[in-house]
Amino acid sequence: MVCEKCEKKLGKVITPDVWKSGARNTTESGGRKINENKLLTSKKNRFNPTTTQFKECRICRTKVHQVGGNYCQACAYKKGICAMCGKKVLDTKSYCQSSA
């Protein structure tokens, strides 16, 4: 769960979407080239364990596997906040959520 502002920061998918209308990573939209070597062209979106480490969630201190994320998906959903920036996305006041 991320806000509209942080959707731009998310990494792109290597394989094209099956449903092509509105997809950002197809050859028609300019997001993907034919016979492109993704190992060479997408260095910035790939996680390298020798140079970087996974961040910890600011609430529960578990490892966050999302690039650029500060909160784990469970804590972001429970609090109704964006997983990357922490902005309030959803009002969870009337929700019946468990703590597990």
Greater confidence (44 vs 59) lies with 59
Average pLDDT over residues 73-96: 90
Q: Is a pLDDT exceeding 60 seen at residue 16?
A: no
**Burial code of 3-33, b = ≥16 C-beta within 10 A, e = fewer?**
eeebeeeeeeeeebeeeeeeeeeeeeeeebe
pLDDT at 66: 83
Q: Is a pLDDT exceeding 90 seen at residue 1?
A: no
Phi, psi of 82 (to 5 degrees): -70, 135
Greater confidence (25 vs 83) lies with 83
pLDDT at 65: 83
Q: Is a pLDDT exceeding 90 seen at residue 60?
A: yes
Copy the structure tokens of residue 9. Answer: 């920061």
What are the sequence ranges of the domains in the chain? 30-90
Q: Is a pLDDT exceeding 60 seen at residue 28?
A: yes
